[in-house]
Amino acid sequence: MTHAFPCGTLPLDFVGTRRARRNVAPLEKLASPDMLDDWFVEAGMLDLAPGANEADLAIAIELRESIYSLVAARLNDRPLPAEAVAELNLQASGLPVTLRLGPDGLTRTGSVSQGLAALAREAVEILGGDQEALLRECSRPECTQVYLDRSRGHRREWCAMRTCGNRVKAAAYRARQHTVKA
């Protein structure tokens, strides 16, 4: 598996395809059309790769960055950037992914634009609805993954315990051990 899905919310996992945004050289997980195809299949949005090209990739990255800028605005109590709102709404107006029932069950097929439309519609629901209050950014300084905090008490700190949470706790443990030995 090439991509990670720590959030359980596909538009926010999609935003996470650009890792460590504050670093000098962030890690780009959508560096090619094939990687975008892989993301759609690994996310379970489409059963077959949609056959992305360079133009599709550019549109996908523009949508991803629009979603991130809208989430960042919400997290920082700033007005929503008009260009990002326009891009999100444009993409959300696209055709849905095609669902078909067959002898082997459900199949999901579609183009890149159909997959992006599904992501955009879900992002609209998050940013424009009650879930907006649950938006958080991972507390690990090197991580910029955003997620919905559905934890009891809404005190979740990390995008995923198995990655960032473990790293922070392990670093704190090592620091305590170093202090004890010193």
pTM of the model: 0.86
Cβ neighbourhood burial of 175 (10 Å; 0-12, 13-18, 19+): exposed
Lowest mean pLDDT among 24-28, 75-79, 145-149, 157-161: 157-161
pLDDT of residue 173: 59
**Strand 18-19, strand 27-28: pairing:** antiparallel
> Given this model, what pLDDT does residue 141 score?
74
Pairing of strands 105-109, 98-102: antiparallel
Output the CA–CA distances (angstroms, integers) from residue 72 to 11, 123, 136, 152, 167, in the order listed. Answer: 14, 13, 9, 23, 24
Question: Is residue 81 within 8 Å of residue 143, measured between CB atoms?
Answer: no
pLDDT, position 23: 84
Instruction: List the domains of the chain with CATH numbers.
Output: 10-181 (1.10.3300.10)
Q: Strand, coil or helix: what is 21? A: coil
In this prediction, residue 114 carries a pLDDT of 98
Give the separation between CA 164 and CA 168, rounded to whole angstroms. 6
Report the interhelical angle of 54-75 vs 33-42 (nearest 10°): 60
Report which of residues 21 and 169 the model is more confident about. Answer: 21
Q: Which residue has the tokens 């979740």?
A: 156
- At residue 29, the pLDDT reads 95
Select the more confidently predicted residue: 43 or 140. Answer: 43
